[in-house]
Amino acid sequence: MREIRCRRCNKTVQVEDYYGLRTCPICHEKDRGDSRVRSAERNLDRTSVRLIESLKFTEPIPEFLQSFTKYQAYWRRYGKEVKASDYFKELKEFKKCEVQKQADTQIAKTKGEFTAKKHFLMKFLRFDVFEPSNREQCTTFRLQK
- Give the residue ranges of the chain where pLDDT is below 70: 125-136, 138, 142, 145
Q: What pLDDT, on the 0 to 100 scale, is given for residue 48?
A: 82
CB atoms within 10 A of CB 30: 14
* Pick from 82, 97, 76, 81: nearest CA to 48: 82
Query: pLDDT tens for residues 76-100?
Result: 999 999 988 899 899 889 988 888 8
Give the torsion sign (CA, 14, 15, 21, 26).
negative
Give the model's pLDDT for residue 119: 82
pLDDT at 144: 72
Q: What is the pLDDT of residue 84?
A: 87
Q: Where are the domains of the chain?
A: 1-48
Q: Decide: helix, strand or coil at residue 95.
A: helix
